[in-house]
Amino acid sequence: MKHIYLDYNATSPVRPEVLEVMLPFYKEQFGNPSSVHWAGRQVSGALEKAREQVATLINASPAEIVFVSCGSEGDNMAIKGTLSALKNRGNHIITTSVEHPAVLETCAAMEKDGYDVTYLPVDSHGELDLADLEKAITAKTALISVMWANNETGTLFPIEEIGRIAKKYNIRFHTDAVQAVGKIPVDVQKANVDLLVISGHKIGAPKGVGAIYIRRGTRMTQFMHGGHQERNRRAGTQNVAGIAGLGKACELAGAELDSYSRRVRTLRDRLEDGIFSQVPEIKLNGTPFRDRRLPNTLNVSFAYIEGESLLLNLDMFGVAASSGSACTSGSLEPSHVMGAMCVEVTLAHSSTRFSLGPETTAEEIDRVLDVLPATVQRLRDMSPLYNCGRTAEGCETCETVRRL
C-alpha cells in the first residue's frame, strides 16, 4: 500500500541532501569540536557553516545562533533564561492560550515559582486581539512569548505588530517559530524579535537538533550549565551531524521557499476545497482567511466521529494525519487549542489536521479525497451521536453534545 504522509507538522523525513551532509560526521569526521587536534579541527568549521546557514534563513548574524537539542529546549531556554536574567525587571509573562506545551508547560512551571502569567485568549478563528495584548502589559512584564504559527491550525500571529508593541514598551519578545521557519518568510529584524526558536525535524533536518536565535546583547541566564560550548550559552558536546544537517535544511528551505509555498498552498487548497465540497457537517478550525494560515495546514472537525478512530481508518488506506482528540494527545482532554477557540467538545475530539510537505503530490491529495468521504460516513454510521433524532432512545441522553 502506498503511504501518504500528511503529518509534516508532526515531523518530516530527513531530506536526502541533508543526510548526505550529515554522514561524514558519523564516519571520518567524528571529532569533538572543542578539541584542538585534527579530529576537532575537521568539524569545528561545520558548526560555523551551519550557524551561517541558519542565520541567513532568518536574517540574523551567525553569532546570534545557538544550537540546542529540539524546539522544546529552545522554548524552555528562552523563557527560563529570560525570567531569571530579568528577575529585577519583573515577574510577569504574557503568552497566548494556544501555544505549544513547550511554552505553556514552561509558563505553568514559572507560575509555581511565583511568576504571573497572562494567557491571552484567541477568537473562534484562533486569532489574537492586539488590544488584549497591549492591555495585558504591566510595569512588571518581563517577557512576551507568542508563537509565529500555530501547529494545530496553522493560524499565523501578527508577529511584526507584536514586535512593534514589545519595542514600544521595551519588553523582551520571544517567538516559538518552530512551525513557521521554512514554510513562510521569517525575518528577525523586520519582526523585532529578541528570541526565536527553530526545530530541525520540522524542516527536513533530523530529530534531536534545533536552534535559538538570541539577539545580540540579550542577557540570558544559562539553561544548560556545564562546558564552554556555544560561547558559554549552551553546555554539552554539540550534535555535529545534526547541526550540519540543520544548516543544510535551512539553506534548502531558503532557496525553495517561494516554490515550496506556492506548490503546497495549491495542494492544501485542493484538499480543503475537496473536503468541503464532498463531506457535509464539518467545521474548519483556525482562520478561514487562507493568507493568515500556514500554506501547508488544514484542520477540520468531522462532526459525530472521534479523531483517533478517523486517523486509524485513514491509516488503513496509508494516509497519515493527526488529531486534537484526547486519545492522541496523551491526556484526557481534547486539544487546548480547540478549547481556546471555543470549539464544542465533541468537535474538538474530532478535529483532524492535514499538514502537507514538499513531497506531497496532487495524486496523494486526490487519493485522500477518494477515501475520506466514505470513511467518515462509515464512522458516522457507527456513532450514537449521528442521526440520533431517529434512534430508539432519542436525543435526551446526548445532552452533553451540542450540534453544529
Ligand X SMILES: Cc1ncc(COP(=O)(O)O)c(C=O)c1O
Catalytic annotation, residues = 327
Residue from 81, 210, 307, 358 touching ligand X (CB under 6 A): that is 210
Stretch that binds another protein, among 94-102, 163-171, 253-261, 389-397 (CB under 8 A): 389-397
**Cβ partners under 8 Å of residue 401, min gap 6:** 344, 345, 346, 385
Distance of CA 400 to the CA centre of its chain: 31
Residue from 206, 286, 334, 358 touching a second copy (CB under 8 A): that is 206
**Cβ partners under 8 Å of residue 366, min gap 6:** 274
Residue from 306, 338, 353, 376 touching another protein (CB under 8 A): that is 306
CB closer to ligand X, 70 vs 365: 70
Sort residue 37 into left (φ over 0), alpha (ψ -120 to 50) or beta.
beta
Count of residues interacting with a second copy (CB under 8 A):
75
Residues 58-117 that bind another protein (CB under 8 A): none
Residue from 22, 102, 156, 244 touching ligand X (CB under 6 A): that is 102
Which listed option, ligand X, a second copy, another protein, none, makes contact with residue 179 (CB within 5 to 8 Å by class)? Answer: ligand X
Residues 214-273 that bind a second copy (CB under 8 A): 221-222, 224-228, 235-242
For residues 156 and 294, is the Cβ–Cβ distance under 8 A?
Answer: yes
Q: Cα dist. 62→173, 275, 372 in Å? A: 20, 44, 46
- Alpha carbons 363 and 6: distance in angstroms, whole number: 13
Residue from 50, 53, 69, 272 touching a second copy (CB under 8 A): that is 69
Closest CA to 214 of 234, 232, 193, 230: 193
The contact mask relative to a second copy for 296-325 (x = CB under 8 A, - = no) is ------------x--xx-xx--xxxxxx--
Q: Which three cell numbers stand for residue 64?
A: 546570534
CB closer to ligand X, 107 vs 147: 147
Stretch that binds ligand X, among 86-94, 115-123, 176-184, 364-372 (CB under 6 A): 176-184
Which listed option, another protein, ligand X, a second copy, none, makes contact with residue 306 (CB within 5 to 8 Å by class)? Answer: another protein
Closest CA to 153 of 359, 335, 349: 335
Reduced to 3 states, what is the DSSP secondary structure of residue 383? coil
Count of residues interacting with another protein (CB under 8 A):
34
Q: Is 72 in the site for ligand X (CB under 6 A)?
A: yes
Residue from 316, 342, 395, 404 touching another protein (CB under 8 A): that is 316
Which listed option, a second copy, another protein, ligand X, none, makes contact with residue 177 (CB within 5 to 8 Å by class)? Answer: none
- Alpha carbons 290 and 350: distance in angstroms, whole number: 21
Residue from 63, 108, 362, 374 touching a second copy (CB under 8 A): that is 108
CB closer to ligand X, 148 vs 260: 148
CB closer to a second copy, 42 vs 287: 42
For residues 232 and 220, is the Cβ–Cβ distance under 8 A?
Answer: no
38-58 vs 240-278: helix crossing angle, rounded to 10: 30
The alpha carbon torsion through 83, 88, 91, 96 (nearest 10 deg) reads -50
Classify each residue of 334-366 as buried b or exposed e, where b means 16 or more C-beta atoms within 10 Å of its C-beta: bbbbbebbebbebbbbbbbbbbbbbebeeebbe
CB closer to ligand X, 278 vs 328: 328
Q: Is 236 in the site for ligand X (CB under 6 A)?
A: yes
Q: Is 11 in the site for another protein (CB under 8 A)?
A: no
Reduced to 3 states, what is the DSSP secondary structure of residue 73? helix
The contact mask relative to another protein for 14-53 (x = CB under 8 A, - = no) is ----------------------x----x--x---------
CB closer to ligand X, 75 vs 364: 75
For residues 234 and 204, is the Cβ–Cβ distance under 8 A?
Answer: no
**Cβ partners under 8 Å of residue 154, min gap 6:** 9, 179, 286, 293, 294, 296, 297, 298, 299, 355
Q: Cα dist. 48→6, 54, 122 in Å? A: 34, 10, 40
Q: Is 126 in the site for ligand X (CB under 6 A)?
A: no
* Binding region for another protein (CB under 8 A): 36, 41, 44, 304-309, 312-313, 316, 325-327, 330, 332-334, 345-346, 349, 381-385, 391-393, 397-398, 400-401
Question: Given the rule CB under 6 A, which residues bind ligand X?
Answer: 70-72, 75, 100, 102, 147, 151, 176, 178-179, 199, 201, 210, 236-237
